[in-house]
Structure 1
Amino acid sequence: MAPQTPSAGAGEVIELSVSRQASQVERDEKSAAHITDEAGHLAVQAIAAGEPDAAASKRVLRKIDAHILPFLCITYALQFIDKTSLAYSSVYGIIRDANLAGQQYSWASSIFYFGYLLAEYPGVALLQRVSVAKFLGANIVLWGGVLMSTAACSSFAGLATVRFILGMTEATISPGFVAVTGIWWSRQEQAGRSALWISFLGVGGCIGGLLAYGIGHIGGSLAPWQYIFLILGAVTVVWGIAFVIFVPDGPARAGWLSDDDKVVAVQRVAANKTGTGRSRRFDASQVVEAATDPAVIVLGLISFVNAIGSGGLAFGPLIVQGFGFSPLNTILMQLPLSVVQTVAQLASGVLSSKIRSSRLHVASIAMIPPIIGACLINKLELDNKWGRLVGVWLLGSYPVGFLVILGLLSSNIAGSTKRSVASGWVFVCYCVGQISGPQFFKSKEAPEYQSGIVAMLCAFCINLLLNQILRLLYVRENRRRDIGLEGLSEETVEALKRESELRGFEDVTDKKNTMFRPTGRAMMPPKAGHSPDSTDSSACGASSTSTSSSSGASHDGLSPSPPPSTSSPIAASALAAAKAAPDPANSAAARQPLSRRGHFKSRLGCFSCKRRRVKCNELRPECSPCRRLGLACVYPPAAANASPSAASAASPAAAALRANPSMLVLQDLRFYHQFLTTAFPTLPLRGAQVWSEAAAMSHEYEHLAHALLGLGASHLSQNGNVDYTSQALQHRVVAIKLFNEQLGKPARSSADADALFATVICLLTQSSLLSDTMIEYMTMTRGANLVATTIIPDFANSIFRSFTPERHIQTLTSMVCELPKDFAAIDAFRASLVSLEPICHENTEKAYLGCQVRCIDALRQSSLDAWKEFVVLYMMPSAFSNQEFLALINPENYAGQLLVIHMFLLDYMLGRFCIAPADGPKLPGRKNVIIGWTRDLARALPGDYQRYIQWPLQYCEVLAGLDARYLLSP
């Protein structure tokens, strides 16, 4: 933040202090600066507008169902028919005509999944970077053409080649449909819609069987199996062309939705916290998270054993033919299997949508009929063909397990890269299972195929067990997150819920999005007497309840508070960083006891242990149970009969704060002390006395009290042995909410204006200590600069009277000195800046670069001249138009990102050569944030941009070992 000068960008939408009457949509558009989702411009509008009108939501849902569902359902039916066309052909003579011997038919079936496996990860990666609908449609056309070419195969080599290519073209269909389902439907709708389009596997089986039966009666010059491939392939090609033409990538591109309907479509899925499209950025950290997430690993294992169980699908007609049926009757006897499959999948979808906490239970129950069926096939005598045939039909419910996996992929995994990696992992396991399954069916065991039947039986049993293991993982995760919400006020929960929905569009993973749950229920604290053990414990629970949960009364018996405004730039940044943390200052009604086992009463234990009704070992500052569970450990206030001497020894500001004891608990006193002694903002320069006066005012201005407590907590986390990030963010969220409320009211006195101005500076300073992204910090800084310019109308009577441009320059002139300079480092910095010229194309980029070059050149001659140029550089983003600023900090604008990083490092270089150590700012933890941003950018840059980040990385290594000082930015 800089001294108050009029900003050239004051007329922009982002300057909320001037345009306070603008609509909420306009206010929140600045938040889209760091949103990577393609529908981000709709997302901010949708979230700002809140829940959609019920009638509008139903109208849009009907349109989506009418335009998208038919394409998903029919395509999935065609995929199943085409994939299993080899099985139909097996009873019409392809084994004989293609000269297949021994295990070659098994390999012809398995090799399809080698191609599927090879194309899986490249296909999933492309789904993240290209038009989803067009890419899927092109693959449908390709697989149809490949299927038609199968009619020309007359050898194992030719058949294996075609099957391999067919597997490659079909590899992206299932993961693509998972992505499409997540884009268009809310989490509570996804289970039913996924069940519907997956149930068309069974419909495809029925239709395919009837088609194969009818084609078997064609008396042409070709063999019946050749007609099967030609006819089915031609139908698929025509359908793929229709898919390309009529299916959009998302709401933003749906021509059959009006502009208002597009916003409603995004509103409906905002609470998914997974976004409505794809981010084109690849995030390596999300790859690591996916690889180490136990739930993702178990999802892959379930996919593997489920695919082994389906190995009998390719041999189904041969097994049934072995019961003594003719080729045509064999096809007809397969129809009941398809009917069972369809009914089981539809029933599972309905049950999962209607019954809470049922999804994985339904999947487990669906494994019981196949287990019984496999036992019947294996144990009944060979002459009991009808009993064994019933066993075959009972196998039809096994695909329900895979249906559940697809639903969990779309609803329970967030983060574009993580979801792509998880989908790839699941389908790789699926391919390996499909490859392995047919190999258990040995030709020498025909027609009993005992090894194959036993393998299926084992796979079904393991599948059931893994379903329950996955459910327990979700139960444990939900319990951990529920504990983190205990004791929070309704206002805070609403703020975090709103922030969580917005973060869904920022490509944040489910692990990092605090309010994300692997469930479909509302994100609310447990009610009185409601143990986390009894929550909707899984993705096991279908997404059956609305995530807009504030539909009921709050847990403390009060009506729900309205969601906090995100109308200021500060609010947008803070909500993007907010995390759930217990609120020790809540009323007693908000701390209802949970149904846990009792213990001997501890009158001195922390609030968290009291609420959970567990024994507190009363360690200070953090007890062992809270440390283990990651909870905020807050103890009751000291007794009221504290000694007068102790009270009198406190500072006047602390005494003033005690006038409102509900505002402070013991930890807050520690944060307050940290603020007064070390953590107060660096601006105004040499302004310790200013912040002492501001602290004394804080007992009258709650927004200021929470702002300075949050800053003290963040500083203590950076420089102490205990992490107080949760408490810091808790204070930050409350400060922002209260600040927004006061910003819309006229200041009645100079103290009112001073309190608002002090709050802005504290919040901005705190943001430099948080692990937000660099883009969020830049957005916050620009917004704060613009808002702050109108807060204090008259500095003459303000405690910030030393922060006028004239007084600020006087102070800085007295601080800046000509220290010995490292000209080699200065020259290296300049060379790194000049190297950016070829990639800076926009006028704003060229101006930003030119100002930095002038600053570094001035540093060689005069520290004061260099500082004056840096002031211009620091204020420059505030002078940009909103569009220019968003373009500069766009995550895909690598030149802009590199320029911003150089600006931060230039600040430290100026501090190193221009400010004496005694005058340096006292926020040493900030340099670690800057270093982290630099390294994050290095990981995100593509290969041809890596040379531009090498010097900044090298300077960060130097910076890490220095007592780093900086000049202007907080």
Structure 2
Amino acid sequence: MGSKTEKADLPGSQSDDKVDVEQLDRTAVPPTTLQSFGHLDEKKILRKMDMRLIPMLALLYLLSFLDRGNIGNAKIEGLQEDLDITDDQYNWCLTAFFFTYAAFEVPSNLMLKKVRPSVWLPAIMVAWGIVMTLMGIVHNYAGLLSARIFLGVTEAGLFPGVAYYLTNWYKREEIQLRQAMFFSAASVAGAFSGLLAFAIGKMDQVGGLHGWQWIFILEGIATVIVAAIAFFALFDFPETAGFLTEEERAFVIYRLKYQGQNHNQNGTQIAQADEFRWKYVKDAFLDWQIWVNIFVYWGVVCPLYGISLFLPTIIRHLGYESSQAQLMTVPIYITAAVLAVVAAYFSDRVGKRSPFIVGFLLVMAAGFSMCIATDPKEHPRVVYAGVFVAACAIYPAFPGVIAWLSNNLSGSLKRSVGMAVQIGVGNLGGAMASNFYRARDAPRYMLGHGLELGFIGAGLLASLILVLGYTAENKKRARRIEEGALDSYTPQELSERGDKALTYRYVL
């Protein structure tokens, strides 16, 4: 785990405390070919990376998702009654989180380019752990609302930061499996949250505090403790990874540097641009595919937050006690976590994203249709099956949407900003979903389930637009290369154009 010492001992490297991320120049890799690394065991290197990176990242995200969603568990343990807040005020506490969460994601990813991940990610984690702990001592609506606003600020950087961070280690045909292993922590968090809430709820009146207060306090303290460990356990980038040999580091950098581009006509390889230019930031904000992809993202994230924030409440209104409702969320989340990893494995194997995303959107639609068409008083098990089916499609679809866009953004900075825009604006879907399931609509929640179906439909339409757009552009570029248009560009110009280069091919 002692990554700091390992990295400081690298031959010719700076001490880890002085590494300037902006000076990690991937263009400094000596000219070579992939065949020159043929004696290396690529699968062994990937396993080493997986073992050193994924477990800690998954733990960080588990705590992140646990801390933003545990308000749903606290609600059915008496939070709303004890704070004397109305249903609308409670929904505003959910909604406010997403405004600041969305606003701070792009700035956070830009900071990640300036500050090492092993410093930035644990630092923001300490901040939100403190906010979460203090949420356990609020006494009124204003206090809870303020805490949720600051929780959004402090949590904003983790998910887009880690999603981008992984693209600095894995090729685009490998990334969804790793995104899924990391993101499956969200579904495990859902299961873990139910179990924890069930257990912590028994601490009601311990120390003069309510059970819901202990949920916030204990989970916040756990976050701060893990953050302290993460300062020493996280690695930065392949250039300074002490668990890889010097040759393995060069190999990892090389295969990332030339991914997604075909050779030009005289055999020169086209590298991805990695330097910081404000032009690349502007390009990200103006790229059509990012904004269309956001609608796909909403088609998944609105149901995701609808489930994570309201699942215990939905199940409780099927006629179960609070403790039963907490426990009945567990099998849903565990199954969803397993399916997310399995689906990602096959998506990476076939090198396609859209067929899996579209398929899961259709399954989600079927699940919510079961809920909306069924009277929960007469057939509660059918409604439970409906949310089960929907959740088991939501969690596998989400890493696919993230991977799809990251696969189609070239250039380190543009990918960093583009993914932050996607996740930042996309997470405004959480603000919307926070108000889908109103207390007065219980137990059938026709409006909530209906709105989820509407966003799923928008996601399907946006997916179709992306597939048609990518297919047409790939064919256009191939045709222009056949006509000799490539002769007008130097390798440097093609590198600077990133995913707009004639040699770049979009992933479908």
Match of 1:309 among 303, 306, 311: 303
1:161-172 alignment, distance < 5 Å: 161-172=146-157
Give, as a single letter, the amino acid of the residue that structure 2 aligns with 1:236. Answer: T
3-state SS in 2 of match to 1:509: helix
Distance 1:381 1:448 in 2: 7
Aligned partner of 1:516 in structure 2 is 504
Aligned partner of 1:81 in structure 2 is 66
Distance 2:237 2:47 in 1: 15
Distance 1:278 1:172 in 2: 23
* TM-score, reference length from structure 2: 0.86
Give 1:86 deviation, angstroms: 0.5
Q: Kindly tell me: are residues 402 and 429 of structure 1, through their superposed partners in 2, closer, same or farther at Cα, counting changes over 3 Å? A: farther
Give 1 or 2: higher helix fraction. 2
Distance 1:57 1:178 in 2: 22
CA contact (8 A) 2:337 2:396 kept: no
Larger RCO (CA under 8 A, 6+ residues apart) = 2
CA contact (8 A) 1:186 1:272 kept: yes
Distance 1:423 1:318 in 2: 32
Q: Which 5+ residue runs of structure 1 have no aligned equivalent?
A: 1-35, 520-537, 539-970
Distance 1:277 1:88 in 2: 45
Distance 1:54 1:223 in 2: 61
3-state SS in 1 of match to 2:136: helix
CA contact (8 A) 2:376 2:443 kept: no
Give, as a single letter, the amino acid of the residue that structure 2 aligns with 1:515. Answer: T
Q: Kindly tell me: are residues 181 and 508 of structure 1, through their superposed partners in 2, closer, same or farther at Cα, counting changes over 3 Å? A: farther
Does the alignment pair 1:392 with 2:374? no
Aligned partner of 2:5 in structure 1 is none
Aligned partner of 1:339 in structure 2 is 334
Give 1:368 deviation, angstroms: 2.1
Distance 1:376 1:124 in 2: 39
Distance 1:428 1:193 in 2: 21
Distance 1:507 1:201 in 2: 36
Aligned partner of 2:214 in structure 1 is 227
CA contact (8 A) 2:117 2:234 kept: no
Does the alignment pair 1:101 with 2:95? no
Q: Kindly tell me: are residues 411 and 164 of structure 1, through their superposed partners in 2, closer, same or farther at Cα, counting changes over 3 Å? A: same
CA contact (8 A) 2:306 2:433 kept: yes
1:701-712 alignment, distance < 5 Å: none
Match of 1:375 among 348, 369, 374: 369
Distance 1:125 1:207 in 2: 32
Q: Kindly tell me: are residues 228 and 176 of structure 1, through their superposed partners in 2, closer, same or farther at Cα, counting changes over 3 Å? A: same
Match of 1:465 among 461, 466, 487: 461
1:402-430 Cα distance to aligned partner (Å, 9 max, x none): 31221123322023442233223212322
**Number of equivalenced pairs:** 473
Distance 1:454 1:262 in 2: 50
CA contact (8 A) 2:122 2:230 kept: yes
3-state SS in 2 of match to 1:281: coil
Distance 1:111 1:277 in 2: 38
* TM-score, reference length from structure 1: 0.46
Distance 1:508 1:300 in 2: 23
Does the alignment pair 1:212 with 2:197? yes
Give, as a single letter, the amino acid of the residue that structure 2 aligns with 1:350. Answer: Y
Distance 2:53 2:274 in 1: 22
Give 1:277 deviation, angstroms: 10
Aligned partner of 1:422 in structure 2 is 418
Match of 2:223 among 214, 227, 236: 236
Q: Kindly tell me: are residues 479 and 54 of structure 1, through their superposed partners in 2, closer, same or farther at Cα, counting changes over 3 Å? A: farther
Match of 2:102 among 102, 107, 117: 117
Does the alignment pair 1:270 with 2:257? yes
1:490-524 Cα distance to aligned partner (Å, 9 max, x none): xx99xx9xx96x889x6652113x322223xxxxx
CA contact (8 A) 2:164 2:419 kept: no
Q: Kindly tell me: are residues 49 and 350 of structure 1, through their superposed partners in 2, closer, same or farther at Cα, counting changes over 3 Å? A: closer
Give 1:278 deviation, angstroms: 9.1
Distance 2:158 2:277 in 1: 21
Match of 1:476 among 463, 472, 477: 472
Aligned partner of 2:438 in structure 1 is 442
Give 1:352 deviation, angstroms: 0.5
Give 1:262 deviation, angstroms: 1.6
Match of 1:321 among 316, 319, 333: 316
Give, as a single letter, the amino acid of the residue that structure 2 aligns with 1:307. Answer: V
Does the alignment pair 1:197 with 2:182? yes
Match of 1:149 among 130, 134, 139: 134
Larger Rg: 1
CA contact (8 A) 1:128 1:279 kept: no
Distance 1:262 1:180 in 2: 16
Distance 2:398 2:71 in 1: 22
Q: Kindly tell me: are residues 162 and 419 of structure 1, through their superposed partners in 2, closer, same or farther at Cα, counting changes over 3 Å? A: same
1:758-780 Cα distance to aligned partner (Å, 9 max, x none): xxxxxxxxxxxxxxxxxxxxxxx
Match of 1:251 among 238, 242, 251: 238
Aligned partner of 1:401 in structure 2 is 397
Distance 1:38 1:511 in 2: 26
The two structures, once aligned, show a CA RMSD in angstroms of 2.7
Give, as a single letter, the amino acid of the residue that structure 1 aligns with 2:167. Answer: G
Distance 1:382 1:42 in 2: 60
Distance 2:134 2:31 in 1: 48
1:564-603 Cα distance to aligned partner (Å, 9 max, x none): xxxxxxxxxxxxxxxxxxxxxxxxxxxxxxxxxxxxxxxx
Distance 2:273 2:439 in 1: 46
Give 1:157 deviation, angstroms: 0.8
Distance 1:226 1:157 in 2: 16
Give, as a single letter, the amino acid of the residue that structure 2 aligns with 1:477. Answer: E
Distance 2:259 2:48 in 1: 20
1:131-179 Cα distance to aligned partner (Å, 9 max, x none): 2331112111211111111100121111111111111111111211122
Q: Which runs of 4+ in 1 moved over 6 A?
A: 274-278
1:661-740 alignment, distance < 5 Å: none
Give, as a single letter, the amino acid of the residue that structure 2 aligns with 1:301. Answer: F
Give 1:89 deviation, angstroms: 0.7
Does the alignment pair 1:351 with 2:343? no
3-state SS in 1 of match to 2:197: helix
Q: Sequence identity of aligned pairs in percent?
A: 25
Q: Kindly tell me: are residues 271 and 278 of structure 1, through their superposed partners in 2, closer, same or farther at Cα, counting changes over 3 Å? A: closer
1:273-302 Cα distance to aligned partner (Å, 9 max, x none): 699999563323x34433443212211222
Give, as a single letter, the amino acid of the residue that structure 2 aligns with 1:96. Answer: E
CA contact (8 A) 1:42 1:263 kept: no
Distance 1:54 1:293 in 2: 40
Match of 2:325 among 330, 335, 338: 330
Q: Kindly tell me: are residues 509 and 516 of structure 1, through their superposed partners in 2, closer, same or farther at Cα, counting changes over 3 Å? A: same
Does the alignment pair 1:40 with 2:25? yes
CA contact (8 A) 1:108 1:160 kept: yes
Give 1:207 deviation, angstroms: 1.9
Q: Kindly tell me: are residues 280 and 41 of structure 1, through their superposed partners in 2, closer, same or farther at Cα, counting changes over 3 Å? A: closer
CA contact (8 A) 1:43 1:267 kept: no
Aligned partner of 2:291 in structure 1 is 297
Aligned partner of 1:558 in structure 2 is none
Distance 1:224 1:276 in 2: 55
1:851-890 alignment, distance < 5 Å: none
Give 1:367 deviation, angstroms: 1.4
Aligned partner of 1:412 in structure 2 is 408
